């Protein structure tokens, strides 16, 4: 048998345990897989070990199978309740031996799957075109992290809009890229919530904007459009806007999005920032936190956290109630803080802005949202 044939066999037959041993090539000495139940969701824990380290990932079965590196091992053990299969490398591929087994059946195996807003098997054809789902509506293994991110994003939005009786909504997405999230948000509001939606995705890349417009047209997603724009320079939509979203919009593009929301009194903001260099590049010793600036990696992370907290404080100063939440598990994206904000008053809290001004003066750094939002 070839490794590909073994993989297909595994996909058809849910395992209780898989162990890959006797390394032929690659980084890992051993790889194993076992079922785990995480917060009611049936997943499979993939464990990959080197000589000194062990890495874990919890994944749906088909995604975990795709991430096994069968070709890199001489010996593969595969166990189901009544049988153990042992595949051993030989001249003509892998040879299979079968032994009787008496393992306890795991009742929960494959019968508890968490319900997401977008689930494996859902027929949302645009998700196939975007490469999130295969033709059979299975999650594409390499897109599992993106699948988790966009599902979590939409779950957080759903928490806010579950009981809302809005009839229509206008949303701007800053730095939409390939627009997995933008399409899913459209699907959520229009197909699930039955709300009329006008959604505009902005990006500076012509090819992604063109492709997204083509897909919106092909699937008749009226009200969804993509515009070639530099969100730092161009004049964007000027009608009433209900929500701003950003998902990993690069560096200060997030600040332009948040400033746009403040200036246009946009009620809802859901923003997951990306890389942020500004404070890291400009901060100088200035007070009690100088210790955090001594070592490069600490300075970088401290600056990134400081950036996000300053963004949250500025939003609070301009009347937003703000939560900073863990967006997805670190394993699915290291850029995993979401700024969730809702405007509750139009009063400006100048005390917050004064405190920030002092902090910026003491440590002598620049922060784009502060500059943009306080500019007269």
Ligand X SMILES: C[S@@+](CC[C@H](N)C(=O)[O-])C[C@H]1O[C@@H](n2cnc3c(N)ncnc32)[C@H](O)[C@@H]1O
The interface region with ligand X, picked from 29-37, 86-94, 200-208, 306-314 by CB under 6 A, is: 200-208
Residue placing its CB nearer to ligand X in the complex, 62 or 149:
149
Residue placing its CB nearer to ligand X in the complex, 76 or 154:
154
Of the candidate residues 57, 79, 203, 255, the single one contacting ligand X (CB under 6 A): 203
Exposure on the CB side of residue 105, measured as CA atoms within 13 A: 5
**Total residues binding ligand X (CB under 6 A):** 20
Terminal CA-CA length for the chain: 71
Rounded least distance, CB 203 to ligand X, Å = 4
Residue placing its CB nearer to ligand X in the complex, 3 or 245:
245
Of the candidate residues 56, 95, 205, 265, the single one contacting ligand X (CB under 6 A): 205
Residue placing its CB nearer to ligand X in the complex, 43 or 224:
224
Q: How far apart are CA 289 and CA 14, in angstroms?
A: 53
Residue placing its CB nearer to ligand X in the complex, 48 or 178:
178
For every residue of 41-90, DSSP letters joined together read EEEEEEEEE-SS-EEEEEE-HHHHHHT--GGGEEEEEEEETTEEEEEEEE
215 binds ligand X (CB under 6 A): no
Of the candidate residues 15, 127, 190, 247, the single one contacting ligand X (CB under 6 A): 247
Rounded least distance, CB 254 to ligand X, Å = 9
What is the residue whose two structure tokens read 């590049």? 281
273 binds ligand X (CB under 6 A): no
Residue placing its CB nearer to ligand X in the complex, 86 or 228:
228
3-state secondary structure of 103: coil
Cβ within 8 Å of residue 71, ≥6 positions away: 3, 24, 25
List the interface residues with ligand X, window 249-268 (CB under 6 A): 249-250, 253
List the interface residues with ligand X, window 130-189 (CB under 6 A): 175-178, 180-181
Rounded least distance, CB 210 to ligand X, Å = 13
Q: Are 170 and 239 in contact (CB under 8 A)?
A: yes
- Here the tokens at position 253 are 């593009």
202 binds ligand X (CB under 6 A): yes
What is the residue whose two structure tokens read 């994003």? 153
The interface region with ligand X, picked from 39-47, 157-165, 247-255, 282-290 by CB under 6 A, is: 247-255
> Which ranges of the chain would DSSP assign to H, the alpha helix?
3-12, 61-66, 125-129, 144-161, 180-186, 206-218, 253-263, 278-282, 296-317, 350-363, 368-374
Residue nearest to ligand X according to CB distances in the complex:
177
Q: How far is CA 251 from CA 41, 59, 75, 257, in A?
A: 34, 30, 46, 11
Binding stretches for ligand X (CB under 6 A): 175-178, 180-181, 202-205, 229-232, 247-250, 253, 274
């Amino acid at each position: 048998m070839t490794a590909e044939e073994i993989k297909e066999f595994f996909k058809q037959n849910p395992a209780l345990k898989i162990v890959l041993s006797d390394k032929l090539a690659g980084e890992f000495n051993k790889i194993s897989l076992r079922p785990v139940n995480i917060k009611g969701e049936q997943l499979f824990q993939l464990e990959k070990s080197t000589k000194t380290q062990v890495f874990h990932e919890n994944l749906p079965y088909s995604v975990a199978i795709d991430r096994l590196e069968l070709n890199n091992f001489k010996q593969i053990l595969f166990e189901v309740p009544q049988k153990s299969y042992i595949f051993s490398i030989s001249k003509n591929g892998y040879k299979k031996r079968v032994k009787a087994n008496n393992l306890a059946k795991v009742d929960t195996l494959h019968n508890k799957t968490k319900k997401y807003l977008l689930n494996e098997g859902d027929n949302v054809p645009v998700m196939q075109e975007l490469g999130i789902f295969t033709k059979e509506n299975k999650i594409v293994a390499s897109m599992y992290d993106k699948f988790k991110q966009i599902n979590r994003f939409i779950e957080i939005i759903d928490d806010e809009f579950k009981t809302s009786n809005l009839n229509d909504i206008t949303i701007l997405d800053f730095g939409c890229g390939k627009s997995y999230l933008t399409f899913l948000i459209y699907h959520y509001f229009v197909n699930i919530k039955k709300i009329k939606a006008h959604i505009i995705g902005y990006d500076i890349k012509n090819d992604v904007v063109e492709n997204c417009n083509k897909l919106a047209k092909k699937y008749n997603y009226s009200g969804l459009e993509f515009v070639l724009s530099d969100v730092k320079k161009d004049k964007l939509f000027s009608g009433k806007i209900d929500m701003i979203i950003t998902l990993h919009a690069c560096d200060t593009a997030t600040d332009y999005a948040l400033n746009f929301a403040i200036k246009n009194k946009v009620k809802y903001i859901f923003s997951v920032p990306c890389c942020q260099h500004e404070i890291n590049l400009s901060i100088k010793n200035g007070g009690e936190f100088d210790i955090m600036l001594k070592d490069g990696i600490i300075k970088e992370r401290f600056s990134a956290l400081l950036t996000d907290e300053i963004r949250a404080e500025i939003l609070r100063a301009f009347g937003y109630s703000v939560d900073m939440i863990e967006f997805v598990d670190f394993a699915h994206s290291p850029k995993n803080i979401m700024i969730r904000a809702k405007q509750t008053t139009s009063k400006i809290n100048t005390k917050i802005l004064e405190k920030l001004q002092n902090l910026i003066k003491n440590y002598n750094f620049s922060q784009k949202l502060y500059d943009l939002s306080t500019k007269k």
